[in-house]
Chains A and B, each alone.
Chain A
Amino acid sequence: MAAGINWQPIILGTIMRSKNKKTSIEPRASYWLLYILPALIIYFIFMAYPLIDSLRLSFYAGTSSSNRVFVGFDNFKKLFFDESLSTRYRGAFSHTIIFFLINMVFQNFVGILFAVILTNRTMQKKTLYQTIIFIPTTFAVLVTGYLWKLLLNPVWSSDALTKIGLSFLSRPWLGDKSSALIVISLISCWQWMGIPVMMFVAALKNINQDLLEVAAMEGATEWQTFIKIKVPLIKPVIGMITILTFVNNFNAFDIVFATETVNGAPGYSTDLLGTFFYRIGIAGQHPIGIPDPGVGACVATITFIVLLLGVVPTLKATRGDN
């Protein structure tokens, strides 16, 4: 769900930037400040302040606002050195990285592949395929998660699979520690595939036709054109998709919530940073149900730092050179 919201401005941004027109009027600073002031106020109240407050919260212990005490770095120590917490935290961290890598590779490679096919001049019924690829993106994660949960459950799907001779596919995919995380990552890839495809299609269409014609006249093969011309020109989009995948996946929670449990079943094998944070900081672990907001805020703080450290270099590395 969150992913759906976060993509929006970026897509618009890419489309707008592609027009790349220079505005003729240069407004003075005092003017534009006035215009962004309302947005700035809302941003500070609903984004910046809670963010800073959660950083502050990670240095406090206590379950409610009235019994909160300053404990310095104790919460961080607990998170890293308290064995029951740190094992889970390390698990959640590594699962999140695996989840991210699968998503990133898929979104970029398959995204480009689909986009190249869709922008090929001989391709028929482009809109139809584009729509099919984009439809899952419009569904709520809870809906797709639940559908896949039923499809991947042998109790409900084995009859149908046996009938079409695919009974070997009837396995408890989501109940097996060795496959659950990979399957969940692939469900997430499938759902969000439409967005990178759309962005790559937009970027590929935007490539100056003259360049491609010149390349063709010089006798470049399709592959050479792709590697030497198309890929360098869509590099900023690759960077953008990597960053968005990175940010969304490090905050991922809904897909595990929908297909497994907030414990990251089976046996914590799908426990992501998002579910770990939810258990520790918000809901409390079943059946005790007493959350520890301080440690939860620590998890959030570290995730925030990781995201900050990851986004900046990626942006730099993939900035397009005109």
Chain B
Amino acid sequence: MKKKFLVLLAVCSLLIPSLVAQGAKENTQKVQLTMGSWRADDVQQMNNLLDAYSKIAPNVEIEFKPTNPSDYNTTLRLQLESGTAPDLLYARSYKTGEDLFNSGYFADCSDIEGMKNFTDANKAPWMSSDGKMFAVPFAAVSHAVYYNRDLFKQAGVEVPTTWEDFLSACQKLQNAGITPLANGLADEWDILETFFLGALPNYVGGTNERMMYEKGEKHFTDDAFVKAFTAMKDVAKYCPKGFESVTYNDSQVLFATGKTAMFIDGSWTVGTYGDATFDWGIFAIPAPEGNKTAITFHPDMAITMNAGTEHPEEAKAFLSWLCTVEGAQTASKYLPAGFFPMINAPITIDLPQANEFLALNTGKETDARFVWPVLLDLYAPMNQAVMSVMKMEITPKQAAQAVQDAYDKLDLN
């Protein structure tokens, strides 16, 4: 008898808290939203950001549900087609995102008030051809030269301001027995995305010039492009010995352990050298004499809402908050270092080097990575051309011709 009673007591004690909890839930009626993303690395950071938002909007709870980066496009389309997509979504820039908007899956975000806080250049990647905004710009990445101040001092080298200075700085470092650059070719993407496309605006110019190439008014065989390829040829001898088989990871290790003086890389790694034992900084990839230094400030992430969401008001409220200065400031506090808010307002960032990165933009023209907006099909040919030039398999002129040939074969409607 006593035993039975004890069991009953145990069961009751288990039930009561859950009943109470259920009651509490019914009282507040929280709106549950989910957010889809390809940034599987950022779960912790995004959860912190969403926690911060839940203090502003206590009735909304947003759950961050990222997918594997390479599966995102396919998974998302599948979810949207079957009506199981998240309420809030990361939107790819340019055509990949616009396709989903044109299919009616992304909501029209043009009338969100804070949209005026973004410059036209930063809005363009998520603007449809008829001028509608299909997402709220969220974060961009930049590209620059990371350099080891200690090794620069040791070799008596100053931060170069022109490409010619840069090459002579490399020579000086090499003479002092220091490998100047950490970049390699084994992973292929990094040499194109961080180095060549990072430096390209210095040679061909900004958005307007890029559009002339896209329309075919300018040719890839012109002086500017040949000069850009020549720069890659000139710099190859300052890369590590056997740079043909140096991977992106190798490059990071080489720079982080002080084995090389410089590394041309994207801003997304700015947080990884935090515990480096040497003093390091950042400078813009310098333009050749006579050209203005420009920055590849690449719009990477935007957030939009599912056109078929059950809670359009709450989702929109979140997007509007991201467009305010407070929202952007909060986001930049929690975003991983090296992902920069795109809002047109002074934002302070804690990490000094990340601030340096953002400061590179002041007074300079910025543009997205050259091939992204329209010419994404030139990515692979350009990538191969850059590597062949660096391996001295072809001349810069032949490389430029190869890209032009690839362009001629494109079907650009």
A-side interface residues toward B, CB under 8 Å?
Answer: 63-67, 83-84, 149, 152-156, 158, 170-177, 260-261, 263, 265-268, 283-291
- Residue of B with least CB distance to A286: B189
Q: Is the CB of A64 within 8 A of B78?
A: yes
Cβ–Cβ < 8 Å partners of A263 in chain B = 188
- Looking at the assembled complex, report how far the CB atom of A22 sits from the nearest CB atom of chain B, in whole angstroms: 54
Q: Is the CB of B81 within 8 A of A64?
A: yes
- Residue of A with least CB distance to B188: A265
Cβ–Cβ < 8 Å partners of A260 in chain B = 186
With A265-B187, A285-B380 given, is the CB distance from A175 to B74 under 8 Å? no
Cβ–Cβ < 8 Å partners of A173 in chain B = 245
Cβ–Cβ < 8 Å partners of A283 in chain B = 70
- Residue of B with least CB distance to A171: B242
With A66-B82, A263-B188 given, is the CB distance from A158 to B387 under 8 Å? no
Nearest 6 interchain pairs by C-beta: A175-B244, A154-B242, A175-B245, A172-B244, A172-B245, A172-B242
Q: Is the CB of B74 within 8 A of A265?
A: no
Question: B409 in the interface, Cβ–Cβ < 8 Å?
Answer: yes
B-side interface residues toward A, CB under 8 Å?
Answer: 70, 72-74, 77-78, 81-82, 96, 184-189, 240-247, 250, 254, 376, 379-380, 384, 387-388, 391, 393, 409
Question: How many residue-residue contacts, CB under 8 A, span A and B?
Answer: 96
Cβ–Cβ < 8 Å partners of B184 in chain A = 155, 175
Cα of A280 to Cα of B244 in the assembled complex, Å: 25
Q: Is the CB of B74 within 8 A of A152?
A: no
Q: Is the CB of A64 within 8 A of B74?
A: yes
With A263-B188, A265-B186 given, is the CB distance from A158 to B77 under 8 Å? no
- Looking at the assembled complex, report how far the CB atom of B30 sits from the nearest CB atom of chain A, in whole angstroms: 32
Contact of B74 among A83, A154, A176, A291 (CB under 8 A): A291
Cα of A35 to Cα of B242 in the assembled complex, Å: 59
Q: Is the CB of A288 within 8 A of B96?
A: yes
Q: List 21 A-B contacts (CB under 8 A).
A: A64-B77, A65-B78, A66-B81, A155-B242, A155-B245, A156-B250, A170-B241, A172-B243, A174-B186, A175-B244, A177-B393, A261-B186, A261-B187, A265-B185, A265-B188, A267-B388, A268-B384, A286-B379, A287-B379, A289-B70, A291-B74
- Residue of B with least CB distance to A156: B250
A155-B242, A155-B250, A267-B388 given; 16 more Cβ-contact pairs under 8 Å: A64-B78, A66-B82, A152-B245, A153-B250, A155-B240, A170-B242, A172-B245, A177-B393, A265-B187, A267-B384, A268-B384, A284-B74, A286-B379, A287-B376, A287-B379, A289-B72
- Looking at the assembled complex, report how far the CB atom of B196 sits from the nearest CB atom of chain A, in whole angstroms: 14
Cβ–Cβ < 8 Å partners of A265 in chain B = 185-188
Cα of A152 to Cα of B242 in the assembled complex, Å: 10
Cα of A278 to Cα of B243 in the assembled complex, Å: 27
With A155-B250, A263-B188 given, is the CB distance from A289 to B73 under 8 Å? yes
Q: Is the CB of A266 within 8 A of B74?
A: no
- Residue of A with least CB distance to B241: A154
Cα of A267 to Cα of B189 in the assembled complex, Å: 12
Majority secondary structure, A binding face? loop
Cβ–Cβ < 8 Å partners of A154 in chain B = 240-242, 245
- Residue of A with least CB distance to B244: A175
Cβ–Cβ < 8 Å partners of A266 in chain B = 185-186, 188, 244, 387, 391
With A154-B245, A173-B245 given, is the CB distance from A290 to B387 under 8 Å? no
Q: Is the CB of B243 within 8 A of A63?
A: no
Cβ–Cβ < 8 Å partners of A65 in chain B = 78
Cβ–Cβ < 8 Å partners of A285 in chain B = 380
Q: Is the CB of A176 within 8 A of B244?
A: yes
- Residue of B with least CB distance to A153: B245
Cα of A68 to Cα of B118 in the assembled complex, Å: 39
Q: Is the CB of A155 within 8 A of B73?
A: no
Cβ–Cβ < 8 Å partners of B187 in chain A = 261, 265
Cα of A64 to Cα of B84 in the assembled complex, Å: 14
Q: Is the CB of A83 within 8 A of B188?
A: no
Cα of A291 to Cα of B72 in the assembled complex, Å: 11
Q: Is the CB of B241 within 8 A of A158?
A: yes
- Residue of B with least CB distance to A265: B188
Cα of A284 to Cα of B243 in the assembled complex, Å: 27
- Looking at the assembled complex, report how far the CB atom of B379 sits from the nearest CB atom of chain A, in whole angstroms: 6
Cα of A171 to Cα of B391 in the assembled complex, Å: 13
Cβ–Cβ < 8 Å partners of B78 in chain A = 64-66
Could you say which of A149, A260, A287, A291 has the most chain B C-beta atoms within 10 Å of its C-beta? A287
Cβ–Cβ < 8 Å partners of B77 in chain A = 63-64
Cβ–Cβ < 8 Å partners of B393 in chain A = 177
Cα of A64 to Cα of B82 in the assembled complex, Å: 10
Cβ–Cβ < 8 Å partners of B74 in chain A = 63-64, 284, 289-291
Cα of A266 to Cα of B189 in the assembled complex, Å: 11
With A155-B241, A175-B244, A175-B245 given, is the CB distance from A290 to B73 under 8 Å? yes
Could you say which of B72, B73, B388, B409 has the most chain A C-beta atoms within 10 Å of its C-beta? B73
Cβ–Cβ < 8 Å partners of B247 in chain A = 149
Contact of B387 among A67, A83, A170, A267 (CB under 8 A): A267
Cα of A260 to Cα of B389 in the assembled complex, Å: 20
- Residue of B with least CB distance to A174: B245
